[in-house]
A and B are shown apart, each in its own frame.
Chain A
């Protein structure tokens, strides 16, 4: 699962909907994998305002990735004078799109439920008593 997707996922339980602690989900025992993907600068530009940067920072810290700047890069930092991709954009692409969690667990800080990840697919099926 891409870190981009993780940045949008919350706990699926209804009781956790109202709690601020249900986002972000915390990766545990995560095995990371780099998957090469074509760069899509326009997509990153579109999606970046929606990314919760604080959550992104804490997740990358938990995963032991290099620390991120305090604030999200603005749109002007993504393209250089000729309109080509800058190093910041390339780094964002590597972080958001290419870094994936191959296996591990996602922990909800509110209810403590663990969602298993296997082969990059997270299991969000809830037993009926937890729905």
Chain B
């Protein structure tokens, strides 16, 4: 299937016709609802919270946020942002509870610092990878978005962004932009290596291991690819030490150079000749 991101900018692509199609299609509604429930599960909110819905569209995800039962920590209050006025018109028709703004997320999130408990975004942030005019770049838009999102969340807040990356490069571009903004970031993949793979970017503000978001969930494997801290002190390989010499010899051998065979004397200190 072709990607809508490749055809037109979001404010033009989601015109009245497309917005209505999107909102009334039961297939899309089901997928959106599943993803919103999954995102809520990842956010793990205990009490009624103030949530930012990035790219809220016609309020399909917002509706679910308002309808969370009291025993599950709801109902939540949300503010949505979207660039397509037709989508927002659909939301008005459907009479959703949250507030909405017509705004471009690539221009940043205009809320004061520490506003929201959490943020959610369903199938939206891949649009940031497109630059429609020559005076903006995808990197700049991503930076502006994640920097302002980071500021607008309260400390200890979390954000879950489900998105459709076009390729591995786009995926790492988005993730790196989030990490640069200061988020603790992790990616959760549902149904990996299938056609219906769903990618969730889980972000946390200030402290806390982001892998904690999936603790207690079933069938989730954690692969930690964070760089390990360099060993310091004794364990760190000193230049000129036996371990260093052995490594260098190995390197040279791998290059195809002639290397003297190693023995028990290799790297041993010589006696001081009187």
Interface residues of A (CB under 8 A from B): 1-2, 4-5, 8-12, 14, 23, 37-38, 40, 42-43, 46-47, 50, 52, 97, 119-126, 128, 131
Shortest CB distance A50–B (Å)? 7
Q: A121-B102, A124-B101, A128-B133 given as contacts; is B112 within 8 A of A8 (CB)?
A: yes
Q: How far is the CA of A62 from the CA of B145 in the complex (A)?
A: 32
CB of A128 within 8 A of CB of B49, answer no
Question: Residue B114 at the A interface, CB < 8 A?
Answer: yes
CB of B102 within 8 A of CB of A124, answer yes
The B interface is mostly helix, strand or loop, or mixed, namely loop
CB of B103 within 8 A of CB of A46, answer no
Which residues of chain A are near B117, meaning CB under 8 Å? 46
Q: How far is the CA of A57 from the CA of B104 in the complex (A)?
A: 30
Q: A8-B112, A125-B104 given as contacts; is B50 within 8 A of A2 (CB)?
A: no
Q: A12-B107, A124-B102 given as contacts; is B92 within 8 A of A43 (CB)?
A: no
Q: A46-B47, A46-B48 given as contacts; is B112 within 8 A of A123 (CB)?
A: no
Question: Residue B77 at the A interface, CB < 8 A?
Answer: yes
CB of A128 within 8 A of CB of B135, answer yes
Interface residues of B (CB under 8 A from A): 47-50, 75-77, 79, 81, 83, 88, 92, 97, 99-104, 107-108, 110-112, 114-115, 117, 133, 135-136, 154
Query: Can you name 28 A-B residue pairings with CB atoms under 8 Å?
Result: A1-B99, A2-B99, A8-B111, A8-B112, A9-B110, A9-B111, A9-B112, A37-B97, A38-B75, A40-B48, A40-B75, A43-B49, A43-B77, A46-B48, A47-B50, A47-B77, A97-B77, A120-B99, A120-B100, A122-B102, A123-B101, A123-B103, A124-B101, A124-B103, A125-B102, A126-B104, A128-B136, A131-B107
8 tightest A-B contacts by CB? A43-B48, A124-B103, A12-B110, A8-B115, A5-B99, A123-B102, A42-B48, A8-B111
